[in-house]
Structure 1
Amino acid sequence: MTYNRNKPVPEQQQSAFDALGGEEVLSRLVDTFYQHISSHEEVRHLFPADLTETAAKQKKFLTQFLGGPPLYTETFGHPRLRARHMPFIITPVQAEAWLSCMAHAMDDIGLSGPLREHMMHRFTLTAHHMINHPTPR
């Protein structure tokens, strides 16, 4: 805790984006994640063959999602995640496959500990919120 004129002021907590290592590490995470996505039979069909634009959008979104600058909103408007994903059938199997790809990407870049746990918790909540079809297809 820091003090300002004899009043305790809580220290500002570092954002997950900054704790991760900012843009450089986030970019490595997303690129690694999409390498796993491109070879995962449960989810690769949900994505275009060329993942360049998808990865760029994901980097902007995750920067914002993890407490960094609001790059996604500045470029595309409010994320409206569930609405943007409605055109795609997302089952529990696909949500878990997405999470598995992210976990593998985190393994690959050496992300561990409380930050990883925090991020996976948030990703899990979001992935489960994206489910719009109850049965596997």
Structure 2
Amino acid sequence: MTFYEAVGGEETFRRLVHRFYEGVADDPLLRPMYPEEDLGPAEDRLTLFLVQYWGGPSTYSQQRGHPRLRMRHVPFVIGEPEREAWLRHMRVAVEELGLPADLEQMLWKYFTMAAKSMVNAPS
């Protein structure tokens, strides 16, 4: 069984990402990084990426090609404050899923690693 299946599939990732973007929508540090007025497209992209990363369908790559996360984030200044804000909103979203502790820990470990790797500006 993949992690994707173990956590409940696409619906779980949709809930996670939707809750995350509810926080981003009102965040004065992160919201300016999303030029679209509607966060829906960003929500869809992150959902598809996470679904694929964790063992679900490869729709993200079919639609957008290789993830190239660092390259896609280069236009944005991401320092420690942005990383911390991103993690703060993601933490709330992860906790609200109510996953078993081992699965939550795996997910959180990935998010902390990914957030650290996106930092491209010195503090």
Contact 2:79 2:122 in 1 (8 A): yes
| Mean CA deviation greater in 81-90 or 21-30 | 21-30
Residue 2 of structure 2 corresponds to residue 15 of structure 1: yes
Structure 2 distance, partners of 1:36, 1:17, is: 23
- The yes-or-no answer on 1:30 pairing with 2:10 is no
C-alpha displacement of 1:107: 2.1
Q: How many aligned positions are there?
A: 122
Q: 1:112 to 1:42 in 2, by over 3 A?
A: farther
Instruction: Give the whole-Å Cα distance in 1 for the aligned partners of 2:12 and 2:21.
Output: 14
Tell me the equivalent position of 1:69.
Answer: 57
**RCO higher in structure (CA 8 A, sep ≥6):** 2
Unaligned runs of 5+ in 1: 1-13
Indicate the structure (1 or 2) with the bigger Cα radius of gyration: 1
CA contact (8 A) 1:106 1:112 kept: no
Relative to the length of structure 2, the TM-score reads 0.92
Among all aligned residue pairs of Structure 1 and Structure 2, give the percentage whose two residues are the same amino acid. Answer: 38
CA RMSD of aligned residues (A): 1.3
Which residue number in structure 1 is paired with residue 121 of structure 2? 133
Higher helix share: 2
1:112 Cα deviation (Å)?
Answer: 4.6
Amino acid in structure 1 at the alignment position of 2:51: T
8 Å contact kept, 1:64–1:71: yes
Query: What's the CA shift string for 1:68-110, capped at 9, x where partnerless?
Result: 1212111100000000000000011111211111110122232
Alignment partners' CA distance in 2, 1:93 and 1:26: 25
Choose the corresponding residue for 1:114, options 102, 107, 116: 102
Return the structure number with greater strand share. 1
Q: Which residue does 1:92 correspond to in 2?
A: 80
Output the CA distance in 1 between the equivalents of 2:18 and 2:101: 21
